[in-house]
Structure 1
Amino acid sequence: MSSSVTLTINQLSQASSMLVLVLSLTSVTLGGIGLIFNILIFIRPPLRREPCVVYFFWSTCFSLILILILQPVRILAVSFGIDQTTFNLGLCKIEWFAIYVTRSASSWFIVLACIDRFFHSSANARVRRMSTLKTARISILVMTIIIFSIHIHSIIYYQTVYQPDRFGNITPSCSPEKSFYYTFLGLWNMVVYSLFPSSLMLLFGLLTLKNIRQQRFIIPAAIDHNQTIRRTDAQLLRMLLAQVIFIIIFTLPLSILQLYSSFTGNFSKTALQLAQESFAFRTASALTYFAHSSTFYMYTVTGTIFRTELFKIVRRCGRTIRNIVSTNRGEIY
């Protein structure tokens, strides 16, 4: 291996480590703060009665586990080389099972939220009655069981695999063996985690928009209550569509790379090609977390009702801080 190739590989490795570290720390810091605000806002009285918000709340809970617990573990493994899963097969299986479950649950609860909006906006009274808190709780329980069940394959097939790193050295890693399952996993992530839920979100989002437009001709626009309902529905729809776009942008690249890797797994590759693929994989993997850590900022930009409740929380915190400061000053004097 020439010195120039070795230098390029080292530069790619350093750039990859720095980029992944910056992206991951940004996701954990800003995402953690935002997701905590999400929970505080979704339990506010004006919102917690909405079945749609119940889905938002549980999606946020799973995202919080992913961003504040599982992503820091991956930061230690990818950026600092501290990875216990390479030496403990049980941890290897549990960690990746948890990552797949939390990511999928977070996305699929948003799908259920879109379906709820479709039910809620229907002109058919029987369909509208399907949008209830009871339905939301049952749907969340059933979907959680399904998601846990369909990801059992990761516990079965993830192994401690010995494969060449970017320098060509044989090292252990926690990953699926490059066999039929590797190809299956790329297709699985693309369909179950990226394309399929996003497509359903878009479908029911458009159907909801159609229902809302039809309601304008059925319900007189002069009724204030109906105007409030339509505004709320439109805001929730914008919040959902924004998240759909972000899920596609941040999750599709990794699925494409996994498919590429599975189809080229039997090809002979140089150390430089392996380093380039490693750079792409590590960057794409870090980007997927932003589909879950950016929800607070998307909701703030697209939802007026969300911003209203956020400002109420901020003002209340401001008053509490001022009262504490005033009390402390009084005690000093």
Structure 2
Amino acid sequence: MSSIDDTINQINAAIVSIVIAVSFINLTLGTIGLVFNVIIFTRPSLRNEPCSLYFFSSTCFNLFVILVIVPIRIASEGFNTDITSYNIGICKLEFFVFYVVRTIPCWLIVLACVDRYLKSSTKVHIRRLSSLRTAKIAIYFIVSVLIILHIHMPIYYEITRTFDGYGNLIPACYGQTGFYRKFIAFWSMASYSLCPSLLMILFGMLTVRNVHLSGRIRSEVTSRRIDRQLACMLTAQVLAIVFSTLPFSVYRLYASFTASLPKDATRLAWENLAFKSASVLTYFAHSTSFYLYTLAGTIFRKELVKIVRRHLWKRNEIHRTLNLHGQQQSEKVQKVIKKHEATSKDRYGCIAKNRTEL
């Protein structure tokens, strides 16, 4: 075996290790954090805010990403059990559903940025657009639009023969060769990473501009504590999405510009390592929201503390009730024993007295 083959094998082994390790980290962090998100965003202090509704909806889709997509990716990338490579129906359905579900949370955060922009406006009629009714309509609209915009995937995805990282020809689920494969590369970059990130930054800048134009934050709208905390949480989430998906966008651009260049096996292996690493890093955009909200939002931390305290209080109450019940049962047993002993003494006393009289 040549040194080139050794290098390629080492790179492929590194890919498997990176994918499995990072995926398990995301699976663990995401499962715990997103469940807490669902509990906290349904609390009375937060559930009536349109921005909270966007966060809650994003969390629901992120749960699907973490609990369904990530385990499937671990099985396919780490253990070579990708059933999409052998069933055309599953191939089309899986890639369509996975692309749509991963894209929706990013656009819901964009809507949250738009909501902050509307709420910071100096014009009353614009601020009124920030409402729960508007948020519900916007969520239904963006989900429907993204489903429609991805409808081409079940049509053009197919099982084709391709070389794996070790040079073996294997079946794999990909878009049709030619124009569509280049299109889907740009499309996934634009819809999942580039456009949402740019829009988040744009509306963030517009929100800052609105605040500066107003001269001060209006007392009846954005000076409320909950609004400020939601803005801080949103900023943290935006930064996480931008930095988690930026390497993916950079790689997609690089791959598009270098697609026509001749590449040897070693370079392809390194590019595959870069692609897999960039892809798996995007899952941090779906798994870390709870920890970002906890760090950035005081109201979020307070709700978390309330939930933990309530759980501990209930557990203590259960232990206290069980202990009290145990003590009561013990006292009852002691009373029965004492009563039984007294009865026995009386009985034996009577027997002894009768024997003496006899």
TM-score (norm 2): 0.85
Question: Structure 2: how far apart are the matches of 1:235 and 1:297?
Answer: 14
Are the equivalent residues in 1 in contact too, given 2:117–2:207 (CA < 8 A)? Answer: yes
Question: Structure 2: how far apart are the matches of 1:47 and 1:205?
Answer: 21
Out of 222, 226, 232, which is 1:232 matched to?
226
Question: Structure 1: how far apart are the matches of 2:221 and 2:279?
Answer: 44
Name the counterpart of 1:53.
Answer: 52
Are the equivalent residues in 2 in contact too, given 1:70–1:95 (CA < 8 A)? Answer: no
Question: Structure 2: how far apart are the matches of 1:218 and 1:194?
Answer: 32
- Tell me how far 1:180 sits from its aligned partner: 1.5
Matched pairs, number: 327
Name the counterpart of 1:280.
Answer: 274
Deviations 1:77-125 (A, max 9, x none): 0001111111111111111111211121101111111111111222211
Question: Structure 1: how far apart are the matches of 2:32 and 2:170?
Answer: 36
Name the counterpart of 1:303.
Answer: 297
The DSSP-based 3-state class of the residue aligned with 1:48 is: coil
Q: Counterparts of 1:3-152 in structure 2 under 5 Å?
A: 3-152=2-151
Are the equivalent residues in 1 in contact too, given 2:61–2:102 (CA < 8 A)? Answer: yes
Structure 2 vs 1, CA of residues 213 and 316 (structure 1 numbering), >3 Å: closer, same or farther? farther
Question: Structure 2: how far apart are the matches of 1:100 and 1:218?
Answer: 39
Name the counterpart of 2:265.
Answer: 271
Question: Structure 2: how far apart are the matches of 1:121 and 1:198?
Answer: 20
Out of 245, 253, 263, which is 2:239 matched to?
245
Name the counterpart of 1:260.
Answer: 254
Query: Is residue 200 of structure 2 the alignment partner of residue 206 of structure 1?
Result: no
Q: Which structure has the greater CA radius of gyration?
A: 2
Structure 2 vs 1, CA of residues 318 and 214 (structure 1 numbering), >3 Å: closer, same or farther? farther
Question: Structure 1: how far apart are the matches of 2:307 and 2:212?
Answer: 33
Question: Structure 2: how far apart are the matches of 1:96 and 1:31?
Answer: 21
Are the equivalent residues in 1 in contact too, given 2:88–2:158 (CA < 8 A)? Answer: yes
2:242 partner amino acid:
I
Question: Structure 2: how far apart are the matches of 1:218 and 1:113?
Answer: 19
- Tell me how far 1:214 sits from its aligned partner: 4.3
Name the counterpart of 2:331.
Answer: none
The DSSP-based 3-state class of the residue aligned with 1:45 is: coil
- Tell me how far 1:216 sits from its aligned partner: 5.1
The DSSP-based 3-state class of the residue aligned with 1:7 is: helix
Deviations 1:157-182 (A, max 9, x none): 22112111122111111122342222
- Tell me how far 1:185 sits from its aligned partner: 1.9
Structure 2 vs 1, CA of residues 227 and 100 (structure 1 numbering), >3 Å: closer, same or farther? closer
Structure 2 vs 1, CA of residues 24 and 217 (structure 1 numbering), >3 Å: closer, same or farther? closer
Structure 1 runs, 4 residues or longer, greater than 6 Å off:
none
Larger mean Cα displacement after TM superposition, 197-206 or 295-304: 197-206
- Tell me how far 1:130 sits from its aligned partner: 0.8
Query: Is residue 154 of structure 2 the alignment partner of residue 160 of structure 1?
Result: no
Unaligned runs of 5+ in 2: 328-358
Deviations 1:295-322 (A, max 9, x none): 1111111111111111111111111222
Question: Structure 1: how far apart are the matches of 2:117 and 2:223?
Answer: 17
Question: Structure 1: how far apart are the matches of 2:13 and 2:309?
Answer: 44
Are the equivalent residues in 2 in contact too, given 1:190–1:252 (CA < 8 A)? Answer: no
- Tell me how far 1:45 sits from its aligned partner: 0.3
Larger mean Cα displacement after TM superposition, 232-241 or 285-294: 232-241
- Tell me how far 1:252 sits from its aligned partner: 2.3
Name the counterpart of 2:185.
Answer: 186
Name the counterpart of 1:326.
Answer: 320
Deviations 1:225-254 (A, max 9, x none): 76851x333322222222222212211222
Are the equivalent residues in 2 in contact too, given 1:97–1:152 (CA < 8 A)? Answer: yes
Question: Structure 1: how far apart are the matches of 2:293 and 2:184?
Answer: 31
Structure 2 vs 1, CA of residues 218 and 19 (structure 1 numbering), >3 Å: closer, same or farther? closer
1:207 partner amino acid:
L
Unaligned runs of 5+ in 1: none
The DSSP-based 3-state class of the residue aligned with 1:174 is: strand
Structure 2 vs 1, CA of residues 273 and 4 (structure 1 numbering), >3 Å: closer, same or farther? same
- Tell me how far 1:52 sits from its aligned partner: 1.0
Question: Structure 1: how far apart are the matches of 2:267 and 2:133?
Answer: 53
Structure 2 vs 1, CA of residues 20 and 227 (structure 1 numbering), >3 Å: closer, same or farther? closer
Are the equivalent residues in 2 in contact too, given 1:235–1:304 (CA < 8 A)? Answer: yes
Question: Structure 1: how far apart are the matches of 2:259 and 2:113?
Answer: 38
* Percent of paired sites with the same residue: 46
The DSSP-based 3-state class of the residue aligned with 2:81 is: coil
Give the superposed CA RMSD. 2.0
- Tell me how far 1:259 sits from its aligned partner: 3.5
1:281 partner amino acid:
F
Question: Structure 2: how far apart are the matches of 1:226 and 1:157?
Answer: 48
- Tell me how far 1:276 sits from its aligned partner: 1.5
Question: Structure 2: how far apart are the matches of 1:218 and 1:250?
Answer: 31
Are the equivalent residues in 2 in contact too, given 1:108–1:197 (CA < 8 A)? Answer: yes
